[in-house]
Structure 1
Amino acid sequence: MISWIKNHKWKTLIVITFSLLLIVTPYLLQGLVKQIILDYTKPYGIQQVELEDIDINPFLGIVSIDNLSLYQTKQSLSPSITQENVTAIKPITNIGLLEVNLNVLNLLQKRIWVESIQISDTDLPFDLNDKQQLFLADIPLTSDTPSEENTEESAKEGLGFLLGLDNVTLNNISLSLTHKSKTSNLHIEHLNLSHLYAWSEDYARLEFKTKLNQAQFNANLQLHLFKEFPKVVGTLQTKGIKSSDFIHFIPKQEFDFNAVLNTDITFTLEQSNQGLKLFQQGNLDVDEIAFTQKPTQANLNKLSWKGDFYYTEKPIKTIDLNGKLELNSLNLNPAGLSVSDTSNQPNLLADITADINSTLTLDNQSINLKHSGDLRVKNLQGGYQNLLAHLEQFNWKGDVNLTSDEKVTFDSTGNISLKQLKLTNNKVTLLNAGSASIKEFKLNNTDSISINDFSLQQFTLAKNSNLPGLVTLQKLSLDKANYNKEADKVFVDLGQLVIQGSETHITLNKEGQIKEINTLLSALPNSEEKPTSETKAKTEAISKASNTQETDNLHYQIASLKVMGNNPIYLVNEQLKPALKKTLKLDQLILGKVASKKPTNNTAFNLKVVFDEFSHLSSQGSFTPLQPTKAFNAQTQLDGLSLLELSPLTEQTVGYHIKSGQLSAELETTIKDNQIDAQNKLHLNKLELESINNDKSKDLQKSFPIPLETGLAMLQDKNDNIELSLPVKGDLNSPDFNISDVITIALGKALAGATRSYLLLALQPFGAIALVGEYALDKASAITLQSVDFDYGKATLSPKMQSYLGKMKVLLSERKAIQIKLCGGVNEADRRALQQAAIKSAIEKQAKQNANSDKTTQDGKKIVVPDISISNPQLLELGAERQKVIKRYLLKLGAASKQIVICKPQISKETKAGQVKLTI
């Protein structure tokens, strides 16, 4: 070995020198680099540069620097800085690893090709001053006024060499940016950029695939930077970028926001002679969106946009959108979440999808928006207090135009449909709509709203687990509706409203209230604060004044209302025992035009109601619904209504049980100038009443001039039918007017009048009838018939009276319910007649006795007129006998004994012939 060295001295020297260079060069280079960095940074306060290691591989083109740190002197330290003091100072910036890999062969083609740059474990503090100058550890990275000479020189130096960069890798990088005493921080765990630049004749290409905290961020860009009109064309893909990774760059706000961004878009950004242009198409998804600003909280599972976006600046700024927007599981809580009580907090949950074709133009102070598309809302759920709303589906399709300059104008045209809308409160369903649609909907600044062809199907109101619901509509349709507001006046115009099929339930509880209405009102949200009496009075006064003003300013009309098809009405009255249950069927209801501007105009109507398979009611005429007491004209027919079902009502109200009966009627009703004049013809078939409550029936009797049973019995014909005319008249303006009293009075007069007419006819030529208190309605009175006359002091029937009693027997035979009461019977004239008859009899007896005596005694005797008086018992005995004579004769003719009632005889003060009074 030694001999070889001696024989090859120059070669040995070269090897030794090269080896020494390899050993010494890194140390020399390390010191040189440290000194160069220190010389550059020392004017900016850097006092020391530490460099752990530097490694250069000239063959592979790799330069690696480990743990480069810059130290700055603090003002509290002494000017003479020792090594001990310096090492005790924390470095203001540190680069753990900086590695650059150059492609040496590309230098021959005047290309500086950096294959990779790797930076790890680095702290980089940046500062930005008010002049927008950027500093790294007080070292300026930008100049306030760059020198044109230096700029040109730098350009010349760079001319001829093309710079290329392929891959950048960042690991554990901490960045901070301080501006106006506020610092934002960003920590990058890992970031990898590859294929950053590739040479092209026409454009540069920038490609990178990065990961930011495991989130993908990829781009492929064409950079047309040196053309007359620079342009960037490319694609951008992101996946899983979280807003929380950038929260430190955003100043602290009064709200919290979190989201995850995913994109896959293609775009073109161009600076043209018409300004900036941007075109973008593709997908943009934002997931797991959460927004909180007390007291509001919103969550959105996913926001998705797929479509085109176009922006241009000239001739005016214009934005065009054409695509599809989706919002999945939107959850909005406007009043925030309350841990203690969430039931009273408003909330909203929905899935929203929209097809958007919009153009937005910005011209100075003017904004114009034109939009057309579809809006679909599914599974909409909302709540407030205990009130819950659920909408399965809502669709809107149409156009929107909005202009904003000095004022905002807005108009929209489209069609609307919804499916399964339900509003509930606990166990009560306030409303439930199966489906609804509007074929044409127009809106203009909320001052003008019009709809055409509105349809609502399967609608239910006020339903709970115990009640079937107040109203259920099978189908409701409205051909048109218009709402217009002019100044302070509001106009509502409805077209033809048609209801096809309905079901109505009305249950009257024991307190006389409608259960279904109570159910609806109790389910509505209640105000927590109860107003004081003073506040309530003020509120009522304001409300009254407001209602008056609104009434004056509100004008409305409806062209017609038509109800047809199967429309049962179920009535239950729980005030009766057992409860009264009745099912009616509204077969037809037609109403003509109603207009608030012309309240005195008549509205035609046609009504048909079916009570059961055997009975129905029909009515037609006209009335003024907005002034119902002013005018009413109607012709009504009722056919075959069974009265048996009304028996529970009559039992409780008037004390009568209806054993049988059927009612038909023809009613002619006229109201003019608040004066009612009704002519009613009633047909009662086989009516049979039975009093089951004497107190109530007696109260009813007080309203009639004759007993009810008597009047009805007198009116019945041989077939037990009654034909009754019932006129009703009255002044509706009278404060004492009560329709119930008016009908009662009319019925009493009708009974008395009809009975009088019947008896006059039935008892002719003995029809001299006196109806005591015929028109006095304060108490019930009997019907007093012509008395049975007797000769003075006699108890025998004359032929005339026998004929009269024959007529009475016919009456009793035809009216089995009638009872004749026999009262009175004698007077003082009868007393005198009996006295004269007694005296005469006594004289005749004396004369007979004298005629039978001896002649010797006969001549000496005289006839003496006796002093005879008739006592009351003797006189009353004549009265009793007369009553018996009448009853015997009627029984002989065939009358029933129970129909003739004998009362206690009384002595009348009359002086005419004796009479037995007959009353029914």
Structure 2
Amino acid sequence: MAEPQQTPPTALYRRRWFRRSLVAFAVLVIVLSLLPVAIRYAAIHVLQDQGIQHVEIADVDLNLFTGEVGLTDVGISGDGLGRATLSRLYVNLAISALFSKRLALQQLELQGLELDVQQTETGVWQVAGISPPTPAQTTASEVEQTPAEPWGIAVDQLKLVGISVHLSMPQLQSDVRIDELRLSQLASWQPQQAAHYEAQLRIDQAPLMLSGTMQPFADTPQFAGKLELTQLPLALAAEFARDAGIENLSGELAISTEFRARILAGMPAVETTSALALTALTLQQGQYRMQAQRLAWRGQVNYLPPADEQDLGLRADGTLMLQRFVLGDEQAGLQLVQLQQLDVDTMVLGEAQQLSIKHIAFDQLELLQKGEQRLLKTAAISVTDVSFDGQQHLAIKDVVLNGLAVHAVLSADGEVELVSQLQASGATQAQDPGSETVAATAQDEVPPFRFELARLHVADDSRLHFKDNSIDPAFEADIKPFSLTIAHVDTAALDQAMEVDLRGVINGQDQITLDASLRPFGDTLDLQAEGKITALDLPPLSPYANQAMGYYLKRGQLNSSLTASIEADQLDANIHVVLQKFAIEEGDPSKHKGFSDRLSMPLDAALSLLRDKHGTIELDIPVQGDISDPQFDVSQVINKALAKATKTAVTGYLALMLQPWGAMLIAADMLSDAGSVSLQPLAFPPGETGLGREQQDYLVKIAALMQQRPEISLNICGVASQQDRQALLALRQQSEQGQASSSDNTPPADEAIDNQQLLDLAMQRARQVKAQLIERGIEAGRLFTCQPDMQNAASNAPLVKLFL
């Protein structure tokens, strides 16, 4: 039997499944080949539908199996002026993670991005010339819709290279370039895993380095790292500064900081350890120009959620340094402040703005300078232990000034020259009346400000120089060395005494000291003080003496001691004055007459009575007054006290020299404050001209006084008296006794002695007194007789009045 014939196998390509698979594969290949093109055109179409005017994508690489996508040479722009270009974008996506709703970027690289970011004049931001879309309106159903489960996101490796952002704002033009930025190990489903980042940027060629770790998805998001910025030009912020009235802002900023930031209950908390420096800083606001070579901070600056409404949340602990600082007023041509260096050590800013500073040092501080003229300069100032409670209490332990030099020059109108120029330039502005009311109301709502200063010390290498051009000739005084110590200042301790200790040497010869204890902050002032002035040369003070008393000081030195007490605003002081070789000369007639009237004699005559045999005058001047009285003027009080003390001293001296006839002098002085100094008059028996023994002894005393005081003169005034008329008439009647009675035409008895006889009698007595004094060695040129008259003759006694 013949074997059955076998059917030959069908060729593989003829099989149906093969043909179908081949077609499917071909279609897949075609689809995969055309997909990048389709994606390219679809992306262009979608972007154009979003309002982007111009879209360019040179090439798209896609691998669905590996999850790789690549774009090259991308360019987009909107209807604005900006655009964006991208050299290359590469994305490697974990496909399997998509099934778990996780977007896991295994690798993301961005290279050569050029991006324009612009803010228009209306405040609208445009990125690549594209304005942001208008937010869509949310419907009620969308609001009530339960949100879908969010996708997770992760980045294994992110790399940005050569990214340039051109930022354009009305107030800022800047270029930011990211040379390289790396981010790794970031995953939202691993919130405790620390992601690492590192960036190298340039802001207008200023290098910026940033590196660190972050945990943005943790329950408490945290960011930590280090930032370094150098040579950032401040001119970038010039337009922002101009809005605040600041012009010509220039300089460079450098920052080096290590930071840690957390989000606590929705509030940021930032801790930094920083070194910040501003160099070559210059700015101008109005007429004021400020320059600083360097301003630097080193230490911690933290921000914490505020503890209360008074707390700003800012905390700081570190040091501050300022070098070569200058503040000038260009309108006045004044240099207001010049400082070589300021160092602030251990400055701590705590809760509620509580501030403490361990030490502040000023090196070569100068205030108010114009050309060679300078108001104040210090070689060094040291301030120790400053504390402020953030509200109403400032306390300082110690302030020491070394090498203080003050040069105060008064102009012809009596104003400090540099200060008046500053005021004229508008530096001191009148406060708006409305603001004064607000300030007063606010003051009523808070406790009074308290200031404490344990000690202020001006070291003895200091100098005070004073020149007064308002008088002629100008007065000039140089106090060197000068030292001052003020201790225990506390505006709230009303019963605590503040101590003052002052020492100085004036013009290299005159010494001045003052020790005082006072309580100045109560309702009334209390003070106890003692002071001394030694060997003060008086002629330079002559213009002031002329203004006060109408006398020029021609010669002399002053030694003086002061004891003063003020209790409840009541001043009680005594000034002990010792004048050596003192000589004066009349100046302003109106003033020296008024002063002499208070003395009851010319001042030069009064002083001549007070000089001892060495030409020295000692005088105690008691000064009293109510300093709270609005009419109280210390210069007028002292002037009046000086006149009274001089008069009292003269009266006491004369009373002593003319004993036992001085009692009458004191009584007369107490009854009268005007006229010349009246000595006890010489009494005569009515109708007689002869001097009795007692009157001659009295003239001996007067002659001795005038010999000891050759500068004084004596006025001798005979007095017409009705008692003399009666005595002369009685003598005439006795001489005519025994004669017949007079006829009816005989005049009355009181007319028998005429007035001229009385005036002649008074003149004879005065001449008799003058003759007696001449015989005792007194020059006739120092003795002046008066022309008698009949005024008050009915009440006058027979006598000769004596006036110095």
Aligned to 1:482: 387
Distance 1:141 1:354 in 2: 42
Distance 2:313 2:109 in 1: 47
Aligned match of 2:593 in 687, 698, 716? 698
Superposed CA offset, 1:222-247 (max 9, x none): xxxxxxx974387x663xx6534xx8
Q: Does 2:184 correspond to 1:269?
A: yes
State the secondary structure of the residue aligned to 2:461.
coil
Cα 1:773/1:376, change in 2 over 3 Å: farther
Aligned match of 2:292 in 391, 405, 409? 391
Aligned to 1:544: 440
Aligned match of 1:887 in 770, 773, 778? 770
Query: How far 1:384 sits from its partner (Å)?
Result: 1.1
Superposed CA offset, 1:866-897 (max 9, x none): 98944333332332232222222222222122
Superposed CA offset, 1:677-725 (max 9, x none): 2233221222211112212212333444444333322222222222212
State the secondary structure of the residue aligned to 1:592.
strand
Superposed CA offset, 1:585-633 (max 9, x none): 4622212212222123211221213223221121213101324842101
Aligned to 1:492: 394
Aligned to 1:284: 201
Rg (Cα) greater in structure:
1
C-alpha contact (below 8 Å) 1:771/1:784 kept by paired residues: no
Cα 1:740/1:257, change in 2 over 3 Å: closer
Distance 2:307 2:495 in 1: 45
Q: Does 2:281 correspond to 1:380?
A: yes
Superposed CA offset, 1:529-582 (max 9, x none): x99xxxx554443333334445x3422211121111222222232321222222
Aligned to 1:409: 313
Aligned match of 1:642 in 537, 546, 551? 537
C-alpha contact (below 8 Å) 2:107/2:155 kept by paired residues: no
Cα 1:361/1:707, change in 2 over 3 Å: same
Aligned to 1:349: 250
**1:769-918 residue pairs with structure 2 within 5 A?**
769-770=664-665, 774-775=669-670, 780-835=674-729, 837=731, 869-907=752-790, 909=793, 914-918=798-802
For 1:497, give the aligned amino acid.
Answer: V
C-alpha contact (below 8 Å) 2:222/2:261 kept by paired residues: yes
Cα 1:464/1:829, change in 2 over 3 Å: same
Normalising by the residue count of structure 1, what TM-score does the alignment of the two structures yield? 0.67
For 2:714, give the aligned amino acid.
Answer: I
C-alpha contact (below 8 Å) 2:556/2:581 kept by paired residues: yes
For 2:287, give the aligned amino acid.
Answer: N
Distance 1:629 1:586 in 2: 34
Query: How far 1:452 sits from its partner (Å)?
Result: 0.6
Superposed CA offset, 1:423-459 (max 9, x none): 1111111211221111100012452111111111211
5+ unaligned residues in a row in structure 1: which ranges? 1-35, 45-91, 94-122, 144-150, 197-203, 214-228, 248-252, 288-301, 844-861
Task: Give the RMSD, CA atoms, in angstroms.
Answer: 4.5
Query: How far 1:766 sits from its partner (Å)?
Result: 3.0
State the secondary structure of the residue aligned to 1:874.
helix
Cα 1:334/1:671, change in 2 over 3 Å: farther
Cα 1:184/1:895, change in 2 over 3 Å: closer
How many residue pairs end up in the alignment?
A: 704
Higher alpha-carbon deviation: 452-461 or 677-686: 677-686
Distance 2:114 2:628 in 1: 87
Aligned to 1:509: 411
Aligned match of 2:652 in 747, 757, 769? 757
Superposed CA offset, 1:483-537 (max 9, x none): 113xxx522111111112212233333444333332333445577xx99xxxx55
Q: Does 2:622 correspond to 1:727?
A: yes
Superposed CA offset, 1:611-668 (max 9, x none): 2322112121310132484210112222221211110112234321111122222221
Higher alpha-carbon deviation: 706-715 or 372-381: 706-715
**1:182-331 residue pairs with structure 2 within 5 A?**
185-186=83-84, 231-232=156-157, 238=162, 242-244=164-166, 255=170, 258-262=173-177, 264-265=179-180, 267=182, 269-271=184-186, 274=190, 278-281=195-198, 283-287=200-204, 302-306=205-209, 308-313=211-216, 315=218, 316-331=220-235
C-alpha contact (below 8 Å) 1:769/1:784 kept by paired residues: no
Cα 1:312/1:211, change in 2 over 3 Å: closer
Distance 2:590 2:81 in 1: 96
Superposed CA offset, 1:250-293 (max 9, x none): xxx86576444555547452346735755345642222xxxxxx
C-alpha contact (below 8 Å) 1:705/1:773 kept by paired residues: no
Cα 1:506/1:772, change in 2 over 3 Å: farther
For 2:379, give the aligned amino acid.
Answer: Q
For 1:270, give the aligned amino acid.
Answer: Q
For 2:338, give the aligned amino acid.
Answer: N
Higher alpha-carbon deviation: 809-818 or 795-804: 795-804
C-alpha contact (below 8 Å) 1:393/1:419 kept by paired residues: yes
Query: How far 1:817 sits from its partner (Å)?
Result: 2.1
Aligned to 2:129: none
Distance 1:836 1:625 in 2: 75
State the secondary structure of the residue aligned to 1:577.
coil
State the secondary structure of the residue aligned to 1:803.
helix
Distance 1:538 1:208 in 2: 60
Q: Does 2:46 correspond to 1:127?
A: yes
C-alpha contact (below 8 Å) 2:494/2:519 kept by paired residues: yes
State the secondary structure of the residue aligned to 1:781.
coil
**1:274-673 residue pairs with structure 2 within 5 A?**
274=190, 278-281=195-198, 283-287=200-204, 302-306=205-209, 308-313=211-216, 315=218, 316-331=220-235, 332-334=237-239, 345-346=246-247, 348-362=249-263, 365-404=266-305, 409-426=313-330, 427-445=333-351, 447-465=353-371, 467-469=373-375, 471-485=376-390, 489-523=391-425, 537-549=433-445, 552-585=447-480, 587-627=482-522, 629-673=524-568
Distance 1:837 1:406 in 2: 113
For 1:456, give the aligned amino acid.
Answer: F
Distance 1:748 1:817 in 2: 19
Normalising by the residue count of structure 2, what TM-score does the alignment of the two structures yield? 0.76
Superposed CA offset, 1:830-879 (max 9, x none): 34444555666678xxxxxxxxxxxxxxxxxx966898944333332332
For 1:896, give the aligned amino acid.
Answer: E
Superposed CA offset, 1:710-765 (max 9, x none): 33222222222222122223334445544344334433332232222211211123
Query: How far 1:184 sits from its partner (Å)?
Result: 7.8
Distance 1:546 1:269 in 2: 56
5+ unaligned residues in a row in structure 2: which ranges? 1-29, 93-105, 116-153
C-alpha contact (below 8 Å) 1:324/1:355 kept by paired residues: yes
Distance 1:432 1:456 in 2: 11
Query: How far 1:377 sits from its partner (Å)?
Result: 1.2
State the secondary structure of the residue aligned to 1:626.
coil
Aligned to 1:87: none
Cα 1:374/1:900, change in 2 over 3 Å: same
**Percent identical residues:** 20
Query: How far 1:795 sits from its partner (Å)?
Result: 3.1
Superposed CA offset, 1:21-54 (max 9, x none): xxxxxxxxxxxxxxx99x989x99xxxxxxxxxx
C-alpha contact (below 8 Å) 1:193/1:210 kept by paired residues: no
C-alpha contact (below 8 Å) 1:826/1:916 kept by paired residues: no
For 1:721, give the aligned amino acid.
Answer: T
Distance 1:405 1:808 in 2: 90
